[in-house]
Structure 1
Amino acid sequence: MKPAYQQLLNDLRPLIPADRLISDELRTLAYGTDASFYRLIPQLVVRVESDSEVILVLNTCRRHGLPVTFRAAGTSLSGQAVTDSVLIQLGNGWNGHALLDDGAAIRLQPGVIGARANAVLAPFGRKIGPDPASINSCMIGGIAANNASGMCCGTAQNSYHTVQDLCVIFADGTRLDTADPHSVNAFRASHADLLQRLTELGVQTRANTELAERIRHKYRLKNTTGYSLNALVDFTDPIDILKHLMIGSEGTLGFISHITYHTVPDPAHKAAAMVYFANIQTACEATMALKPTPVSAVELLDRAALRSVETMPGMPAELRELPDGATALLIDVRGTDPDALAANVQQVLAAMAHIPVLQPAEFTRERKTYDLYWKVRKGTFPAVGAERVIGTTVIIEDVAFPIERLADGVLALQALLQKYHYDEAILFGHALEGNLHFVFTQGFDDPAEVQRYEAFMGDVAQLVAVEYGGSLKAEHGTGRNMAPFVELEWGSEAYGLMKAIKHAFDPLNLLNPDVILSDNPKLHVENLKPLPPAHDLVDKCIECGFCESVCPSRRLTLTPRQRIVLWREIQRLASTGSQPERLRTLRKEFAYAGLDTCAGDGLCATQCPVGINTGELVRHLRAEHQGGMPKAMSKQLALHFAGTTRAVRVSLRTAHFVQSALGTPAMQALTRVAKPLSGGMVAHWSPNMPRAVGSATHERITRHSTANISTADADSVVYLPACVTRSLGASLSAADVRSVPDVMLDLLHKAGFSVIIPSGIDGLCCGMPFNSKGLFDAATQKRNELLEALNTASDHGRYPIVCDTSPCTQFLRETAQGCALNILEPVSFVRQHVLPRLNITQKSERIALHITCSATRMGLADDMLALAQACADDVIIPASITCCGFAGDKGFSTPELNASALQDLKAEVKGCTRGFSNSRTCEIGLSEHSGLDYQSILYLVDEVTASREGV
């Protein structure tokens, strides 16, 4: 660390907790990486938790003359969230929201994920205006700071036009809340010079007729190049000017600590059509005709974009049959009710009636087809990323043309891409706004490739900004990527205005310098990010960060993106032989942060544009680090698995005996001390540690073995009690002390099923506990043994098979693809086969529901919610919880992962009486961190159902 930053760190230590002052090599690299193709490694990362801490850090940095950059989710594409100085990162305390005026407005802290804000507003039929493609991952702070828009919001519903109020912390540490009259009055007094300067700039700009008209013209387009100069012509009150200048300022004018949006309607009824045209010109003619109609979105896709996705599973067959040059428009229409939707569709069809199409336009309201059309549109960018040459990066640029010149602009862009041999490039975009994205792959490890990119971007800037009067950045923000071209686009007079604005807010130029405004003409081709090969499982990663919002370790150590970033760097250093000391440090620190605290839940793959499951990488790395002893031990455990489960039950009984003698606090203290001394062999003791499953249950299981298969009939079902439910019973505090197998057997008998349990069940296991540790041979052995037993028990697939635990079912399905057995998860089995045989009496009760990561990956979230709602009239799903982080046995060995993943759970389930899930180990951690007793949802179903007459 440089001396100036060491002194800064020393000054911050009394002000900020040590664990939130980050200067080690591993985390500064990980936390300093964003979605752009630039790399700068911060000297210091400071995680702040409140306005007061932001003010402390800004004041301290100002005293040292050190620049700062703010970071929310890091999904920005233009390099606006990287720095080699001080990175101020949002901590865990920025997730607050407040509904105003029955959802007509919403006040949001900058750490709220955009999709979460919309989920809060959904019951009111409202949403926030901005709708960026990254809305499931990006945060409100970035949405506002970049003036992000998207596919439906256009220019009318972006942050600039829907902001009501905001709270800003300025470079000098002053805080202004525009919703608070006292704060506004105090600011008018303390910052009269700044407000006077903004007033003067507004007067001068409005008086300059030519400049004012140029500004108005520029913002008829989507435009995020430079500062929001329209604030100077749209408003006269300097507070209003200030408020709107903050939108799109990319952290260069201040820190937005919360924002209040006017919300917009979100019509429930939707229809879409994929309409094909012979060429770009005809598609653009159709777009012009659609402009005055009630369309929600019109997305243009050129032939290359359609070709990039045409071979993906589930894509419409007609994509492969389109001629060269064909262009598609995805047209989305919405309405407040079915009649309004039908009327809007008719207006759209009438507007296009005179335009030739390759196939008649047909709108669908059917959800599956509607979603398929949007899958085509959203799949284009990742398709290019997935097919790129390893070591290159995928670049997505976004420009906007005046819509009346869109067709010519598209053709000119295509010509430029051909000139510079970007043969894989695709074009798509928000046609109604003249907004086009073009995606291409680019290597930066060869100086000649960097020169090609530099020359290409120079020509793009000249074409779009000068020849067509468009905007170089329509919605991705200026960043470092377009900072050298801002003056080219706007002209010297407007550029001078921008410099005056920056100086008025930040005279020392300490807030995100070189972003938006820069005197460096080569800034956009400096500090380029390396993407060396790291592992076949993750080499397609484009470091977008979409995975981060669902990762249970995101607030403890690393996210999937950060694990990949670090492994790439470790592999780069290993291959070059450079910086051996740094390599040793990264390897050592990665063992805990990268491997030990990864839950391996695979949720990252559900959000990843190219389908990467970082947990698979972690498992393979764990396998590489296994020595001979663990592998030999795993083989013995697999061979003697019945003895292993018996040993678990004996250990539980012994531990509970000790706990009853010492008391829970003393037991927890004892295990905390013993855990490191034992090399991790002693587990974390949870107050909700389950009882051992009793011998009576095991005798009952044995009675249903396949010895009785000869009596099986059409009402037979094969029941697989997982090894975890055969060992771990109910917690000591549980009202219902039955084990999960007892509940499942009671429920199946109540529904009239004949139950078959595979013979030798005590020695059977799906193999997942071994697989998660990288012990793949043992995992395969146990899985194959189980499949053979299930095949016999089900009479070669004649009878359905139900497992009582979601993770085991998911693992079997995932690793035994092609198997003919019908293996069902408990939720899907109960909904399909059990409930139709029973009468349900719904309880009037508020319950909490945890949808496990395995259920999510199997697409069962809606089924699980529906099952819970059939049993109880008030079901709460905690919004902040994705995976609980218990991860099999990690809740015992690495309890801090479980605690971090569930840190908000208790507050979110307040008012609930009980909790339910479908994984016994997950329920242990959920109970510990919620204050509720969590059990399998099977308990709830059994409680509210009764046998139906005749069954």
Structure 2
Amino acid sequence: MSLPAAFLDSVARLIPGERRFDDPLSTLAFGTDASFYRLIPKLVVRVESEDEVVALLKLAQRERVPVTFRAAGTSLSGQAISDSVLIVLGDNWNGREIRHQGQQIRLQPGVIGAQANAWLAPFGRKIGPDPASINACKIGGIVANNASGMCCGTAQNTYHTLAGMRLVLADGTRLDSEDPASVAAFEQSHASLLDELTRLARETRANTELAAKIRHKYRLKNTTGLSLNALIDYDQPLDILSHLLVGSEGTLGFISAVTYDTVVDHPNKASALIVFPDVETCCNAVTVLKSQPVSAVELLDRRSLRSVQDKPGMPAFVQQLSDGACALLIESRAATQALLHEQLAQIMASLAGFPVEKQVDFTEDAKENAKLWAIRKDTFPAVGAVRKTGTTVIIEDVTFPVEQLAIGVNRLIALFDKHRYDEAILFGHALEGNLHFVFTQGFNSAEEVARYQAFMDDVAQLVAVEFGGSLKAEHGTGRNMAPFVELEWGSDAYRLMWQLKRLLDPNGILNPDVVLSEDPQIHLKNLKPLPAADEIVDKCIECGFCEPVCPSKGLTLSPRQRIVMWRDIQAKKRAGSDTRELERDYQYQGIDTCAATGLCAQRCPVGINTGELVKKLRAQAADHVKTADWLADNFHTALSGARFTLQAANGARRLLGAPRLSRLSASLNTLSHGRVPQWTPAMPQPLKAVQFTPASNDARPRVVYLAACVSRVMGPAAADREQTSLLDKTRALLEKAGYQVIFPDNQDNLCCGQPFASKGYAEQAEHKRQELINALLHASRGGLDPIYCDTSPCTLRLVQDLAETRLDLYDPVRFIRTHLVDKLEFTPQDEPIAVHVTCSTQHLGESQALIDLARRCSKQVVVPEGIHCCGFAGDKGFTTPELNAHSLRSLRDAVQYCSEGISTSRTCEIGLSNHGGIDYHGLVYLVDRVTRARAI
């Protein structure tokens, strides 16, 4: 059924067109969350204010239109999708208020969980919930799912650390529990609702059998059904209401702000891996550890250990473990190192009586800690990486009473064998009896669906009925477990949940069929296809972990959405459908606006670089091979042409003035579909071809200076207060540090190949790269001298597969920190500095080193939040300027008090200067300004 015309007309008057989506590409792209379900919304609305949410809910009530709220869409149980109206959070939901030296924090629902912890870190605090998806999931989803994680247990989840909430009910009424005026107005307007909540709570507490069941269920980790513990734990109706919304998965209202009581984030920690000979011994050890000073205890069965045993960095003994082995990864944290050591001794003493097959002793070394936790974190992607194309990865999470954990583990393993899930692995938060099990599942035939159904029926009987556990410990009920809520809770509790739902959402418009459903087969419907699209991306599980670092997310498509759409296009092609319109839309949305920097791969659990798919598609469309060949063979001529273009632009600026030229070039860029580059006041002036002097024969150490082609062509912008070129500034700094600077021969014809690679001309790109490597080998006397490259993207491209060439190649950050710091004296400046860490710097592993160097140079360093990639992406800042503008839309506010910005990519600095409102320069400008040669 289509949406009512009256509703659509009203929404059109309320929400601007650029924030309403109903085209086939957008609705499918937005209709995907991390679960194995797929619903395609009829309308997607991006909201930017609470007023818009209120108005939309009133319209939805009037026309009986179902709506679903979406934050990050990392949900695993199908609770963030809709076949009606999907309401997604826009940019303006990132507010925070830190109170009482970090003891409380008030957050809007669009804040990413890890960002909240970054704000709290200076106070030694953090929010209680610590889901594995914390780098991608948002506060709205954390609260709505009552998410937990490895360390938070049940005591530190949102329900137990909630200090206040601002919410919007289904009828559009607002309530802020921390605002006395709001509370007073609500108590007057909704007295009958509050009276009914009070009555239900009183009756529930009086029903001793039901009250005991609720207390038992929430002694465990439990997110199955609505939060009935609110009726037991609180007698004030406003407290009941706010706690009912925790874990309600958007079925009872919209959460527009939440206040947390934060928890201590102890700075001292240590981890150990202890392998026991069998499951029983392992689980008995968990029972002992329950009373010990541990912050996390993760169980890994032999299958999960086997899934990661061949990965680099894994302890060698993992491959030799016995078939029945079961491991615990244990972490302890403390306020001081002395206290930590006391705790570690106490923990090990408590385990002294248990037989141990192998162990890695407690270590406080951060790198060793990371290796141990990689064993746990790599298990889920390890299953995803080996699954058959076309199948999905399902991760379920259940809770057994911890005293019955051993038998529960063995019974689950027996179910894997019974239903032939041979690849299934099992791990989990052992202290809480919370087990995750991961398996691969196809949904392409009735037989496959039937196998899944039979398996889940058995799991439900085992966990919920036999053991009185919870079918969903922390991933939320969604539509995945909605048919099993009554089985787990019983008819009295189930009836009570429906009473609460109908009290708060009488017309059933909020996220129907999630948490509570009258359809016993809802968990078997709308199963998501994952058809083959390209081997580069076929392992994608559509989790959305990639999205926070993507510069085009919110402008066009995110990496997850690019893959979703490419899968759909390929499936439609195989089915014989006409995909021309979809492909035409995908050209801009998916290909033209992808920065292809590969940051998504760093966040992806299975290491997918969506940019590689985009480059492959660009290569397939690259039909100017002869032109690319000519440019590769005549690169010095191409650079002369670039200098001429910049000269012409500079002449036009003098003639027309910067404001008029900027407006004119923006119009020409739009009319030419990006073929005419957009001019901005940050556009460089041309740099004359440099005459390089031959090397002299003196005693100074030599360094080969590879000036990137952009550094050889682009001088400072006309309005920049710094008028020394990057090339001259770099040479001066290297000489100040006592180096003799050597340049490769025929430098103006050299290029790393990046401009060719980004356009899809891989053959020409590799030709230029090899040509440059040969020139550098000669200049560095066969690799004897270090090579300094002044632009990090070029460095990154060159260091790929460089081991066999003997070149000692450095980007600016690594060279300065390893070769110059001890040769220079730093006097940090008072003026604040903004730092942009380029994508290539992140890939090179030099992000923190760049920030640390900036802190040597300035007493105030600003690293703008939420900007992971500037979106300039080579030349896209000229040809697709909207990508650069979108990526840096929050930059100006973040750096408004800074005197200068620094980076390590000349092209990135053009966009950063334009959108930041301050001049951005290479790192060497700052280092040169605050240093002098150290006296010998």
Bin for the TM-score computed over the shorter chain: over 0.9
Question: What residue number does 1:648 align with?
Answer: 642
1:6 CA displacement: 4.4
Kept in 1: contact 2:783–2:807 (CA 8 A): yes
> Of 654, 664, 667, which aligns to 1:670?
664
Question: What residue number does 1:635 align with?
Answer: 629
1:340 CA displacement: 1.2
1:713 CA displacement: 6.0
- For the residues of structure 1 that align with 2:801 and 2:108, how far apart are their CA atoms? 42
Question: What residue number does 1:687 align with?
Answer: 681
Question: What residue number does 1:545 align with?
Answer: 544
1:679 CA displacement: 5.0
- For the residues of structure 2 that align with 1:129 and 1:48, how far apart are their CA atoms? 28
Kept in 1: contact 2:909–2:920 (CA 8 A): yes
Question: What residue number does 1:598 align with?
Answer: 594
- For the residues of structure 1 that align with 2:103 and 2:458, how far apart are their CA atoms? 45
1:391 CA displacement: 0.6
3-state SS in 1 of match to 2:25: helix
Kept in 1: contact 2:136–2:544 (CA 8 A): yes
Q: What code does the residue aligned with 1:80 have?
A: Q
Question: What residue number does 1:916 align with?
Answer: 902
Matched, 1:156 2:155: yes
1:812 CA displacement: 1.2
Q: What code does the residue aligned with 2:606 have?
A: V
Question: What residue number does 1:828 align with?
Answer: 814
Kept in 2: contact 1:283–1:329 (CA 8 A): yes
1:731 CA displacement: 1.7
> Of 878, 881, 893, which aligns to 1:907?
893
Distance 1:360 1:74, change over 3 A: closer
- For the residues of structure 1 that align with 2:9 and 2:762, how far apart are their CA atoms? 47
> Of 851, 855, 871, which aligns to 1:869?
855
Q: Describe how 1:363-762 pairs up with structure 2 within 5 A.
A: 363-578=362-577, 580=578, 583-627=579-623, 630-678=624-672, 680-695=674-689, 698-699=690-691, 702-704=692-694, 708=695, 711=697, 715-762=701-748
Over residues 764-807 of structure 1, what are the superposed CA-to-partner deviations in whole Å (9 max), with x where a residue is unaligned? Answer: 00000110111111111111110110111111111111100011
1:623 CA displacement: 0.8
Q: What code does the residue aligned with 1:497 have?
A: L
- For the residues of structure 2 that align with 1:3 and 1:218, how far apart are their CA atoms? 41
Kept in 1: contact 2:896–2:917 (CA 8 A): no
Bigger mean CA deviation after superposition, 463-472 or 746-755: 746-755
1:677 CA displacement: 4.2
Distance 1:85 1:567, change over 3 A: same
- For the residues of structure 1 that align with 2:895 and 2:311, how far apart are their CA atoms? 40
Structure 2 length normalisation: TM-score? 0.99
3-state SS in 2 of match to 1:328: strand
- For the residues of structure 1 that align with 2:609 and 2:698, how far apart are their CA atoms? 41
Q: What code does the residue aligned with 1:247 have?
A: V
Kept in 1: contact 2:674–2:880 (CA 8 A): no
3-state SS in 2 of match to 1:78: coil
- For the residues of structure 1 that align with 2:8 and 2:793, how far apart are their CA atoms? 44
Q: What code does the residue aligned with 2:660 have?
A: A
Kept in 2: contact 1:555–1:901 (CA 8 A): no
Kept in 2: contact 1:298–1:432 (CA 8 A): yes
Kept in 1: contact 2:224–2:477 (CA 8 A): yes
Kept in 1: contact 2:3–2:84 (CA 8 A): no
Q: What code does the residue aligned with 2:909 have?
A: E
- For the residues of structure 1 that align with 2:803 and 2:473, how far apart are their CA atoms? 44
Kept in 1: contact 2:281–2:354 (CA 8 A): yes
Matched, 1:860 2:859: no
- For the residues of structure 2 that align with 1:227 and 1:677, how far apart are their CA atoms? 54
3-state SS in 2 of match to 1:325: coil
Kept in 2: contact 1:733–1:933 (CA 8 A): no
3-state SS in 2 of match to 1:703: coil
Distance 1:460 1:691, change over 3 A: same
Q: What code does the residue aligned with 1:43 have?
A: K
Question: What residue number does 1:64 align with?
Answer: 63
1:114 CA displacement: 0.2
3-state SS in 2 of match to 1:66: coil
Distance 1:487 1:815, change over 3 A: same
1:367 CA displacement: 1.1
Over residues 704-756 of structure 1, what are the superposed CA-to-partner deviations in whole Å (9 max), with x where a residue is unaligned? Answer: 4xxx38x3767111110000111111122222211111011001111111111
Question: What residue number does 2:770 align with?
Answer: 784
Question: What residue number does 1:166 align with?
Answer: 165
- For the residues of structure 2 that align with 1:740 and 1:15, how far apart are their CA atoms? 49
- For the residues of structure 1 that align with 2:803 and 2:541, how far apart are their CA atoms? 28
Q: Describe how 1:749-898 pairs up with structure 2 within 5 A.
A: 749-814=735-800, 816=802, 818-898=804-884
Over residues 864-889 of structure 1, what are the superposed CA-to-partner deviations in whole Å (9 max), with x where a residue is unaligned? Answer: 01111111111110111100000010
3-state SS in 2 of match to 1:270: strand
Q: What stretches of structure 1 of length at least 5 have no aligned partner?
A: none
1:817 CA displacement: 5.5
3-state SS in 2 of match to 1:828: helix
Question: What residue number does 1:35 align with?
Answer: 34
- For the residues of structure 2 that align with 1:360 and 1:622, how far apart are their CA atoms? 49
- For the residues of structure 2 that align with 1:676 and 1:246, how far apart are their CA atoms? 47
Bigger mean CA deviation after superposition, 525-534 or 729-738: 729-738
Question: What residue number does 1:208 align with?
Answer: 207
Q: What stretches of structure 2 of length at least 5 have no aligned partner?
A: none
3-state SS in 2 of match to 1:510: coil
1:909 CA displacement: 1.5
1:353 CA displacement: 1.4
Kept in 2: contact 1:149–1:475 (CA 8 A): yes
3-state SS in 2 of match to 1:272: strand
Q: CA RMSD in A?
A: 1.1
Question: What residue number does 2:54 align with?
Answer: 55
- For the residues of structure 2 that align with 1:713 and 1:210, how far apart are their CA atoms? 89
- For the residues of structure 1 that align with 2:371 and 2:334, how far apart are their CA atoms? 20
Over residues 326-383 of structure 1, what are the superposed CA-to-partner deviations in whole Å (9 max), with x where a residue is unaligned? Answer: 0110000011011111111112112111111113562100111111000101000000
Q: What code does the residue aligned with 1:716 have?
A: R
Bigger mean CA deviation after superposition, 662-671 or 274-283: 662-671
Distance 1:584 1:712, change over 3 A: farther
Question: What residue number does 2:44 align with?
Answer: 45
- For the residues of structure 1 that align with 2:455 and 2:609, how far apart are their CA atoms? 34
1:68 CA displacement: 0.2
Q: What code does the residue aligned with 1:84 have?
A: D
3-state SS in 2 of match to 1:691: strand
Bigger mean CA deviation after superposition, 807-816 or 156-165: 807-816
Q: What code does the residue aligned with 2:415 have?
A: L
1:676 CA displacement: 4.1
3-state SS in 2 of match to 1:460: helix
**What fraction of aligned residue pairs are identical, expressed as a percent?**
56
3-state SS in 2 of match to 1:438: strand
3-state SS in 2 of match to 1:497: helix
3-state SS in 2 of match to 1:98: strand
- For the residues of structure 2 that align with 1:867 and 1:689, how far apart are their CA atoms? 27
Q: Describe how 1:233-382 pairs up with structure 2 within 5 A.
A: 233-359=232-358, 362-382=361-381
1:845 CA displacement: 2.1
- For the residues of structure 2 that align with 1:518 and 1:712, how far apart are their CA atoms? 82
Kept in 2: contact 1:603–1:853 (CA 8 A): yes
